[in-house]
Structure 1
């Protein structure tokens, strides 16, 4: 049986997504793919563009702090298909609330950092140097 022309090896997918080969296997073992990963000759994994697109969603959700169990649940709901939209929406809204809170905390951190940079720039401009006691 011939492989589809748009098939990708695990190495190609790793290169395109920035995930390691180990991470790709982990994602598969954790049930995070919405479509099964096919197998080619010799049992090697065969991916499609749809897998890469889905991985991009997973990468962004993980980077935003979505816990693995929530991502697994989201993948399960997508895999199930029609009739799970309300639960998917609720899951994403809950995550949005968490991300918005993180952004608020990071904004406070950034405000402090900017303030401290201004303090040091003023000290250096005035004195030409900053003394260790002026932190």
Structure 2
């Protein structure tokens, strides 16, 4: 007996992933979907759970700042299958380095923001304690 894979509409996938229908179509056009999106009766897009899992990975990579060309390259490498793990690793390590640098910069920004919040909390606390001020 063959296992039936539940089919999802573009609207269902949009709801599950948080991507808009427009973004899903864009990902398809840009070659970022792992496998071609199937079409059901009437030409409507039909997605699988595997598509949702792949999109979830892509969403995380994009949210972390991976540029579309790099995501496209990663997708192509994965599509090619075994034998290019060194290239995938290199691409992900490069991205890892960029994300680490971004986190360090954000840490410096947060330090300054925390300092300024403390300054204004002190001013507000002193103003509240001394209303004649």
- Is the pair's TM-score, using the shorter chain for normalization, greater than 0.5? yes
How many corresponding residue pairs? Answer: 126
Runs of 4+ in 1 over 6 A off after TM superposition: none
Alignment RMSD: 1.2
Q: After the TM superposition, which residues 14-93 of structure 1 pair with which residues of structure 2 at under 5 Å, given as runs?
A: 14-93=14-93
User: Could you tell me how far apart the structure 1 residues matched to 2:121 and 2:58 are?
Assistant: 41
TM-score by length of 1: 0.90
Contact 2:5 2:48 in 1 (8 A): no
Structure 2 regions of 5+ residues with no counterpart?
none
Q: Which residue of 2 aligns with 1:132?
A: none
> Which secondary structure does the structure 1 equivalent of 2:34 belong to?
coil
Q: Which residue of 2 aligns with 1:7?
A: 7
User: Could you tell me how far apart the structure 1 residues matched to 2:41 and 2:78 are?
Assistant: 29
Structure 1 regions of 5+ residues with no counterpart?
130-135
**How far does residue 5 in structure 1 lie from its aligned partner after superposition?**
4.5
TM-score by length of 2: 0.91
Superimposed CA distance per residue, residues 50-80 of structure 1 (whole angstroms, 9 cap, x where no aligned partner): 0000000000000000000000000000001
**How far does residue 34 in structure 1 lie from its aligned partner after superposition?**
1.1
Contact 2:17 2:56 in 1 (8 A): yes
Contact 2:27 2:33 in 1 (8 A): yes
